């Protein structure tokens, strides 16, 4: 288990709910831990992908009568992780001690995805009220944005609106309107609120026209942020969360809602979003170091970088270490 208590005790997305089907076994990796995902009586399960008998993977095993079967020796485990059947000794009760149990993790399903906490949850999954608002009838999901960089680098890229004019110069913005105005930022112990962001972008209805739009960012968790763009009656809302696979490997998940009165062309939306994701991945994978430096002296900053500066300070204050380069104890960092 990683030593980063903040991320270890938080919730992270590992797959879409619709992809975790009854009788199907999926593999995932979270914070350097290999997981096996499956369903028992409709309930999602997340276990350590390691049979306690000889350490083999469950990934090529199968589900039988609501139990998970290890493919190496056929050991059968119930939905609590307890061994209930040993084929080599069918008449002998399986060991009841903890060594014969699979390590299990906390699971929740919300917003159409499966969230896993490896440690002890300190709070619920991030709140996203628009999900239950029926006026947001246009819904899109983009996942599996596999990135060979750290999760904090990926999340910081999303909240850095300065890159839109260049990284997304042919999709979301344009270099002709790269100037970044002032905005409000409020740092709290439980997150960061950024409001009154003014940035030139194409219309949320994908009409091809562009203008300066108002947006806000709510950084809810170290690796989860909610973006709201547009007017109350014509708004796009994005919940973006990043799964920390390993120190320098992550997966981005983007859930998008629209309450725009018109139609949002699905094919065009998919094409645009996938291109934006590819552009972001290319940009983030080029950054060095791959882990996000929390010492503010490590890179130089501008007034328009206040959001990312606040994010780095917040991570440092929380004690996030996985995927970051923490401030050295004897270093003097800008405040």
Tell me what pLDDT residue 199 has: 84
Tell me what pLDDT residue 204 has: 53
Tell me what pLDDT residue 335 has: 43
Contacts of 63 (CB under 8 A, 6+ apart): 22, 23, 24, 25, 38, 39, 40, 69
Tell me what pLDDT residue 221 has: 98
pTM over 0.75: yes
Best CA proximity match to 142, nearest among 271, 224, 265, 254: 254
Best CA proximity match to 245, nearest among 101, 132, 122, 147: 147
Residue 216 has phi, psi (to 5 degrees) of: -140, 155
Q: State which H helix or E strand residue 64 sits in.
A: strand 62-64
Contacts of 203 (CB under 8 A, 6+ apart): 209, 210, 211
Q: Which residue has the tokens 């026209």?
A: 209
The overall longest dimension of the chain from CA atoms, in Å, is: 76
3-class SS string, 172-235: CCCHHHCCCCCCEEEEECCEEEEEEEEEEEECCCCCCCEEEEEEEEEEEECCEEEEEEEECCEE
Question: Residue 270 in contact with residue 148, Cβ under 8 Å?
Answer: no
Question: Residue 279 in contact with residue 154, Cβ under 8 Å?
Answer: no
Tell me what pLDDT residue 279 has: 96
Best CA proximity match to 144, nearest among 319, 14, 23: 14
Tell me what pLDDT residue 178 has: 86
- The ranges of the chain with pLDDT < 50 are 333-335
Count the Cβ atoms, other than its own, within 10 Å of residue 284.
Answer: 24
CA–CA distance, 200 with 310 (Å, rounded to integer): 23
Return the structure tokens found at 236.
């796009």
pLDDT digits (tens, 9 = 90+) for 259-295: 998 888 899 899 999 999 999 999 999 999 999 999 9
Count the Cβ atoms, other than its own, within 10 Å of residue 333.
Answer: 14
Tell me what pLDDT residue 206 has: 53
Residues present in the chain in total: 335
């Amino acid at each position: 288990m990683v030593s980063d208590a903040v991320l270890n005790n938080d919730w992270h997305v590992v797959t879409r709910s619709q992809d975790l089907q009854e009788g199907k076994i999926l593999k995932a990796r979270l914070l350097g831990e290999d997981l096996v995902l499956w369903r028992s009586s409709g309930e999602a399960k997340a276990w350590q992908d390691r049979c306690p008998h000889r350490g083999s993977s469950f990934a090529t095993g199968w589900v039988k009568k609501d139990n998970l079967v290890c493919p190496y020796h056929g050991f059968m485990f119930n939905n609590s992780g307890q061994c209930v059947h040993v084929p080599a000794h069918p008449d002998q009760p399986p060991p009841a001690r903890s060594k014969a149990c699979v390590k299990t993790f906390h699971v929740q399903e919300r917003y159409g995805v499966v969230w896993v906490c490896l440690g002890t949850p300190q709070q619920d999954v991030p709140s996203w009220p628009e999900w239950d608002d029926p006026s947001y009838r246009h819904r899109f999901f983009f996942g599996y944005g596999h990135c060979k960089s750290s999760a904090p680098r990926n999340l910081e890229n999303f909240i850095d609106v300065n890159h839109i004019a260049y990284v997304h110069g042919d999709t979301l913005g344009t270099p002709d309107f790269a100037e970044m105005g002032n905005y409000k930022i409020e740092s709290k112990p439980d997150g960061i609120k950024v409001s009154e962001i003014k940035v030139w972008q194409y219309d949320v209805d994908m009409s091809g026209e562009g203008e300066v739009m108002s947006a806000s960012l709510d950084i809810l968790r170290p690796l989860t942020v909610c973006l709201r763009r547009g007017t109350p009656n014509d708004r796009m809302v994005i919940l973006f969360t990043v799964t920390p696979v390993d120190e320098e490997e992550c997966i981005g998940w983007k859930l998008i809602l629209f309450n725009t009165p018109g139609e949002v062309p699905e094919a065009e939306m998919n094409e645009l979003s996938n291109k934006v994701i590819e552009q972001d991945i290319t940009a983030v994978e080029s950054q060095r170091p791959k882990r996000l430096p929390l010492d503010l002296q490590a890179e130089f900053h501008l007034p328009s970088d206040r959001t990312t500066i606040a994010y780095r300070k917040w991570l440092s204050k929380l004690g996030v270490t996985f995927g970051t380069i923490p401030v050295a104890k004897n270093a003097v960092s800008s405040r």
